[in-house]
Chain A
Amino acid sequence: EPEVTQTPSHQVTQMGQEVILRCVPISNHLYFYWYRQILGQKVEFLVSFYNNEISEKSEIFDDQFSVERPDGSNFTLKIRSTKLEDSAMYFCASVTGYNEQFFGPGTRLTVL
């Protein structure tokens, strides 16, 4: 059964460093998402991506964040200059349309 994959599973970085989180969505899906979950809190929407451009973004998704689909399979989230409060679990999801979203296993980002 096809699934969404994410790498790395855990990333530790120093404050101010750039990080890139990677996702491989399900191959025939058209819409891609990033979500964030700070420890002990609910999952929050960051950004949606369709047809090689951002379709919607939340207030959390400021200028420090960017997304890219560099090739036909990968979908990346970049944080330019990490802050302590960026420590969270980051989930990628994909979907064919207004249907069930399939989530990856997440990347746990720790900013020291």
Chain B
Amino acid sequence: GIQVEQSPPDLILQEGANSTLRCNFSDSVNNLQWFHQNPWGQLINLFYIPSGTKQNGRLSATTVATERYSLLYISSSQTTDSGVYFCAVRSYQLTFGKGTKLSVIP
């Protein structure tokens, strides 16, 4: 099946710093989504981005489908950004990566 790799696995940031999270996938996909898992375990939809670039406030994402990767940018990070960020791709069912655990410290 399709492989999804996320990097880095762990990231510690000072509040106010910027970061880039990466998602590589092994085959063509027709859907790519980024999620934030909050401390209560809920999966919060961040972006549906099979290709191109989208922005939502301090977050933006870019997917280059032909090169099989996606990037999630977080600018001016806040402590509330802490949690695990998952990339998930779909060829048939949605396949998740292992996530990037982000810790933003004051």
Contact residues of A: prevailing secondary structure: strand
Provide the A33-73 mask, 1 if CB < 8 A to any CB of B, else 0. Answer: 10101000111110010000000101000000000000000
Task: Indicate whether A45 sits within 8 Å of B93 (C-beta atoms), given known contacts A100-B45, A106-B42, A108-B41.
Answer: yes
A69 vs chain B, min Cβ distance (A) = 18
B33 vs chain A, min Cβ distance (A) = 6
Residues of B within 8 A of A101 (CB): 31, 33, 88, 90, 94
Q: Is the CB of A56 within 8 A of B45?
A: no
Q: Is the CB of A103 within 8 A of B43?
A: yes
Within 8 A of A (CB), among B19-43: 30-31, 33, 35, 40-43
Q: Is the CB of A106 within 8 A of B31?
A: no
Within 8 A of A (CB), among B24-74: 30-31, 33, 35, 40-43, 45, 48
| B residues with CB within 8 A of A | 30-31, 33, 35, 40-43, 45, 48, 86, 88, 90, 92-99
